[in-house]
Amino acid sequence: MTLRVLCVFLLSGWLSVSAAALPIPENGPALRIQGSNTIGAELGPALVEGLLQEQGLLKIHRETPDTANEQRLVGQTAQGQRVIIEVAAHGSSTGFTALKNASADLAASSREIKDSELLALQALGDLKSPAAEQVIAIDGLAIILNPANPLQQLDTEQLARIFAGEVKTWEDLGGRGGAIHLYARDDQSGTYDTFKELVLSRRGKSLSSTAKRFESSEQLSDAVSADPQGIGFIGLPYVRQANAVAIADGASQAMLPLNSLIATEDYPLSRRLFFYLPPDSRNPWVQALAAFAQSPQGQAIVAASGFVSQTVQAMSVAPNALMPEGYQSLSRHAQRLTVNFRFAEGSASLDNKARQDLARVLDYIKRNGKTERAVTLVGFGDLKDDPARADLLSKLRAMAVRRELVKNGVVMREVRGFGALMPVATNSADEGRIKNRRVEVWVY
C-alpha cells in the first residue's frame, strides 16, 4: 500500500470499515485478542465495547472467566444471538505466541514487535507493514514525590540508580530528607512493565527489593503524598495530590509529563501501544476493531481510558533562551501540532505511526483552512561527527514529509532543519537517536 493510498484510506475509511454489519459466527468468539496487560486491562475492552455499540448490538456487558486477567465482552443481536469477543492480558509476548499457535486473531502489544517474533510469524505476512502494525495510543508515566520535596527534576540515569537502590539518600541528589523510600506497582502491572522497559532494563538494572509494591495506583500515589521521603512512578491519571517532577534524558531539556509532550513522544517516559493484525487474516472483526481504534470515536475512548490520544491539536510553545533564535521566532508567531513525524530505523522513510499521523495532520490542515502557505515543517536529527551532515539530514527528513503533504494539496510556507540541536533523548543509545530524528509541524 503506497503512502498516498494509505492516507486516502485513513481519511475516508476510518468509519466505513467498521460501520458495515459484521458477520457473526455461529459458534465460538467473533474475535480473540491476546497480549499486553496495559492494553488488555481496560483500553482494549473499552474499544471492543465501542465497536459492539457501533454494530448496534444490545445488552453489552463484560464477563470474567475463572482465569485471571481475562475478560469476555458480550453483546446481543436484535434476534437474541450472542456475540462474544475474548480479551486475554498476560503480557505483550503472549500475543505474538498466540498468533503463532492460532489461539488469537489479534495481538495487543505495549512494545514494538521483535525481529525474532517477525521471523517466527512470517507465514502470516509482514507484521511490520503499515496495515499490520497499528499504533492505537501513547502511554506515559509520571515520577511523583511528596508535595514537600523541593526537587524539581531528575534524569533517566538517576531514576535507574534510585529505583535500583544504588542512590540511597536525598542528599545524594543534592536535596534533603534522609533515606529515599521507593514505591512501585506490582509485577502484574502494565505501569511497572513500562517503567522496567524504559528506565531499568535499558541500563541493565533491576528494581530494588526494598520498594513497597502496590496493586492500586491510587493507593501508591496517596502513600507517596503521605511520605516526605517517598518517590514512585504512576500512570498519568493517578498523580492526585503528589508532585510530578520533570524528566530529562541525556542532553534533552527536562520535561514535565504533559499530555502534549507525551503525544509528540518528546517526554522521555512515553511509549507506543500497538495492535498487530496478521495481514492475511480473513476475520473482518480484526480490521474493524483496528479501524475503530483509529477513528475519532476510538481515540476519544483512548483519552477516556487515561492514555494519550493521537487526535491532532495545536499548542502554543513558550520561547526560551535554550532554543535557537529561529525556533524562538517560530514559537512566537505560530503554534505547534501535537504530533512528530519519526522515521524507520536507518532510513529517511516515515515509520508506520508517521504514516497514520500524516492522514490526521492532513485532516487538521484541511478542516482549519491551512492549505495555503500556513504550514512550516521543522526537521531535527541525531548528533553526527560532521555537524553539516546533521543539518542536511534534518532538512532532508522535513523535505520527505513536505513531499507527502504537497501531493495532497498543501502549499508549504517554509521547511527548516535544525540539525542535532534541541535533542529530546540521549544520543548514546539507538532508541534515543531514533527519537531525535523527527519532524515537527507548525501552523500559522
User: pLDDT digit string (tens) for 215-232?
Assistant: 888 899 999 999 999 999
Grid look-up 531525535 returns: 436
The dihedral built from the CA positions of residue 306, 310, 316 and 317, taken in this order, carries a sign that is positive
Question: What is the chain's mean pLDDT, rounded?
Answer: 91
Is residue 242 pLDDT above 70, yes or no? yes
Q: Is the distance from CB of 378 to CB of 327 less than 8 angstroms?
A: yes
Q: Report pLDDT digits (tens) over 349-360.
A: 888 999 899 999
| Domains of the chain (ranges, CATH numbers) | 3-132+277-304 (3.40.190.10), 140-260 (3.40.190.10), 312-443 (3.30.1330.60)
Is residue 4 pLDDT above 50, yes or no? no
pLDDT at 385: 65
Q: pTM for the whole thing?
A: 0.84
pLDDT at 106: 98
With a CB cutoff of 8 Å and minimum separation 6, the contacts of 194 are: 38, 110, 139, 141, 269, 271
Q: What mean pLDDT do residues 20-32 have?
A: 91
pLDDT at 20: 61
Q: What mean pLDDT do residues 99-124 have?
A: 95
- Using pLDDT thresholds of 50, 70 and 90, give the confidence band for residue 2: very low
Nearest to residue 156, comparing CAs of 59, 267, 49? 267
**Interatomic CA distance for residues 32 and 85, integer angstroms:** 6
pLDDT at 359: 92
Choose between 294 and 343: higher pLDDT.
294
**Interatomic CA distance for residues 105 and 102, integer angstroms:** 7
**Interatomic CA distance for residues 134 and 51, integer angstroms:** 17
Q: Is the distance from CB of 251 to CB of 426 less than 8 angstroms?
A: yes
Q: Report pLDDT digits (tens) over 178-195.
A: 999 999 998 877 788 889
**Interatomic CA distance for residues 327 and 322, integer angstroms:** 10
Is residue 393 pLDDT above 90, yes or no? no
pLDDT at 379: 94
Kindly state the cell numbers that stand for 277.
Answer: 493484525
In one letter, which amino acid is 412?
Answer: M
Q: Is the distance from CB of 406 to CB of 381 less than 8 angstroms?
A: no
Q: What mean pLDDT do residues 52-74 have?
A: 95
Most confident of 21-25, 71-75, 352-356: 71-75
Choose between 414 and 175: higher pLDDT.
414
Kindly state the cell numbers that stand for 127.
Answer: 507484521
Integer-rounded Cα Rg, in Å, for the chain is 22
pLDDT at 194: 83
Is residue 12 pLDDT above 80, yes or no? no
